[in-house]
Amino acid sequence: MRREIPIAITFVVGLIMLLSNFIAIPMGSYSLAQLAQEMGTWVIIISAFAVGLATVNLVLIHGHNLFSAKTRINSLLLLISMFCFSLVGIIEFHMPDSTFWTGLNQNMYENVLSPLSAAMFALIAFYLGSAAYRVFRMRNVDATILLISCVVMMLGQAPIGALIWDKFPSIAGWAMSVPNNAGQRAIMMGAAIGGFAVSLRILFGIERSYLGTD
């Protein structure tokens, strides 16, 4: 029963969600679409419990780190930040008219979280350089083709490319819109069909590894 019940729930819920996209079935004063919408609300409720579980895991691991690990400063900072953000958020929720708490909450997001996220995002530019350096080494035929196409593409996109040879922008444009587009669409179609097959396998209980079983 430990396997059968989750598979049955998956089948029923999956079928309702799937059919609600195609067919409008009135069920008295209720409809299939409304039922699917209702299930979306259930997901939010389940998610709230999952967030609770995840938070307990986070606190346990970092609480343990405080007493034993080399990274105790990191863990301490994480726990303090988590506590402060939660506290300010809860107070703001209960005192929505208080400009102090609303402002503080907003400031914490805009002046702490957003700049930190932006800094992490900005790191991508530097990592692109190091990744490109490794890829552009001519180790074999494939890497050489990649190198040549990348150089042509860069010259086609940069203003200096047109100054060197006025055909670079049109070659780069053609490479982007014809072979690149064709390849991308092929991957997209394959992935969409693959995703559909995985969904069906899960829906009908053929694929059960998400339950931890074969």
Partner 1 sequence: MSFIEGTRFLLVFSLVSGALIFYMMTKVREGKYLPKIRPLNGLDAIEEAIGRATEMGRPVHFSPGIGGVTDQSAPQTMAAMEILSYTSDLVAQYGNEMVVSIRTPNLFPIAQEVTRQRFIAAGKPEMFKETTVQFFSSEQFAYSARCMGFITREKVAANIMIGAFWAESLLIAEAGASVGAIQVAGTANLHQIPFFVAACDYTLIGEELFAGGAYLSQDKMELGSIAAQDYLKIVSIGLVILGALAATFQYDFLHQLLAK
Binding site for partner 1 (CB under 8 A): 21-26, 43, 46-47, 50-51, 53-55, 57-58, 60-61, 64, 70-71, 74, 113, 116-117, 120-121, 123-124, 127-128, 130-132, 134-135, 184, 187-191, 193-202, 206-207, 209-214
Give the nearer residue to partner 1 in terms of CB position, either 102 or 180.
180
Largest CA distance in the chain: 72
Structural contact between residues 150 and 136, judged by C-beta atoms closer than 8 angstroms: yes
Q: Which amino acid is at 90?
A: I
User: Residue 165 Cβ, how far from partner 1 at the closest point, in Å?
Assistant: 25
User: Shortest approach of partner 1 to residue 19 CB, angstroms?
Assistant: 9
Closer CB to partner 1, 1 or 24, in the complex:
24
CA angle 80/85/91 to nearest 5° reads 125
Find the shortest distance in angstroms from Cβ 125 to partner 1: 10
Which residue in 207, 214, 211 sits closest to 2, CA to CA? 211
In whole angstroms, the minimum distance from the beta carbon of 95 to partner 1 comes to 25
The count of C-alpha atoms lying within 13 angstroms of the C-alpha of 188, restricted to the half-sphere facing its C-beta, is 6
Nearer CB in complex with partner 1: 95/123: 123
Alpha carbons 32 and 22: distance in angstroms, whole number:
10
Residue placing its CB nearer to partner 1 in the complex, 123 or 163: 123
Q: Which residue has the tokens 């991308």?
A: 184
